[in-house]
Each structure stands twice: as structure tokens, then as C-alpha cells.
Amino acid sequence: MPTQHFRAATWLLISAATCAAPAWAYTQHEAHIHGQVELNMAQDGNDLLLEITAPAVDVIGFEHPPETEAEQQVLKDAVLKLNRPENLLAINAAAGCQLHEQHVSHTLSEHAETHDHEKHGDHDHDEHDEHDEHDHHEGHDHHDHGKHSGHEHGEHGEFSIQYTYQCDTIDKLSTLTLKWFSQFPATEKIQLQAITAQGQQAATLTASQAEFRF
């Protein structure tokens, strides 16, 4: 579960995005463009805060809740990848940044949304209760199917990833290199927005131009 510091970091990132974003940023998020990921960065003292928002189709190849065991495994594998930021990005070593906190969530299913172990028991219990209701109310099955179809066709699944780094010499922060494209090749570009001691910056990164300079 995110700590109070992490929630504060999220607010800072929202403020960073609002202040630093060029005009295209406001339309792109609402449009939920496949192949396009958003990365917001903000410096808070010696902390470096990153928040990534990615269309589910970029990460796992589909946007609906997993319907088969194979899709469930694809989702689990993706969450594992996202929990290993060292395989997704690299901050120049001179800045002395160490991962302090991370949080991965998605909108693909109510059960897996937060991946919080404390909540799994409650979710499992709720799902069991719903299963019991299904056994006794055939009409409820039809209702859920309708809701599921609406979710598939009316909503866009996405991932939200947050990383907090604590940096010993953040004044030496100079580059961020993204490895995201090799892990999730469906992503065509990443729209980056940053607020650091160097000021407000924005850039578009691609597989062939994956390094951002502060």
C-alpha cells in the first residue's frame, strides 16, 4: 500500500504535469492513444519521483480483464516486469539514486487493481460471495456479462506505475535512459514531462532516441 510520502509524491507529479505539460499533453491523456506512454518526473529535494501511465494494450496486448489462464499469466508477467524498474530505465550513476518505493496498479480487474497483499483476502472473499450468488441467480450471470462487455468496449485498460528514488548527489543528475521499448515493443513513443532543479522540460522519446538529458 502506498505510504503517506508516496501519496504526497503523486500530488507533486500531478502538479508537475499540470505546470510543465505542453498543449498536446492534455488531449493525449483523454484520447488514450495506443502506442503512446506518458512519463511524469519531479524532483523533491533529494528524491526523484516518476509516474508512468501506459495503455494496457501496449503492455500486455489487450485491454479487457483476463479471460483465460494464458491472459492471466500474461498480466502477472507484466506486473513482475513493471516491479523491476532497473529493467525499464536507468538514471546516470553519478546521481547516486536508489529505488526507495514503488507501486504498480492497473484497471483491468477489481481483484488485481492495487496488488496489495492485505486486500487480497477481502477480494477473494468478495469474489467467492459473488460466485455463490451466481450459483443461485442465473439472471445475475447475464447482468455481469453485460457489464463485462461494456468494460471491454466502453473503457480503456491502463497501467499506472510510480517509482520513488532517493539520490545522494541529485545535483549530478544528467540523463535518464529508457529501456521500456525493449520490454514493451508495442510502445512507439513516450511523452516525458519533468520538473527538476534544472527547470521544466518536455520531450518525446522513441526506441531509437531513448535518452533524456536534463
pLDDT confidence of residue 15: 57
Highest mean pLDDT among 21-25, 71-75, 125-129: 71-75
Instruction: Work out the percent of the chain whose per-residue pLDDT is above 70.
Output: 64
Cα dihedral 87, 169, 205, 32 sign: positive
Average pLDDT score over the chain? 78
Residue 132 has pLDDT above 60, yes or no: no
User: pLDDT by residue (tens digit) across 139-174?
Assistant: 444 444 434 433 444 467 999 999 999 999 999 999
Please give the backbone phi and psi of residue 155, each rounded to the nearest 5 degrees, phi first.
-130, 160
Residue 62 is predicted with a pLDDT of 95
The three cell numbers of residue 15 are 502538479
Domain ranges for the chain, please list them: 4-108+157-213, 118-156
Which positions ≥6 away from 210 have C-beta within 8 Å?
177, 178, 179, 180, 181
Question: Is the pLDDT reported for residue 33 higher than 90?
Answer: no
- Residues 52, 37: contact at Cβ < 8 Å? yes
CA distances from 29 to 53, 79, 178 (A): 9, 22, 20
Structure confidence by residue, pLDDT tens digits, 41-85? 999 999 999 999 999 999 999 999 999 999 999 999 999 999 999
Question: CA-CA distance, 121 to 128, in Å (whole number)?
Answer: 11
Rg for the chain, CA atoms, rounded:
19
pLDDT number for residue 14? 56
What pLDDT is stored for residue 191 in this prediction? 97
HSE-up (13 A, CA, CB side) for residue 135: 6
pLDDT at residue 119 greater than cutoff 50: no
- The pTM score is 0.71
- 2-6, 105-109, 117-121, 167-171, range with the lowest pLDDT: 117-121
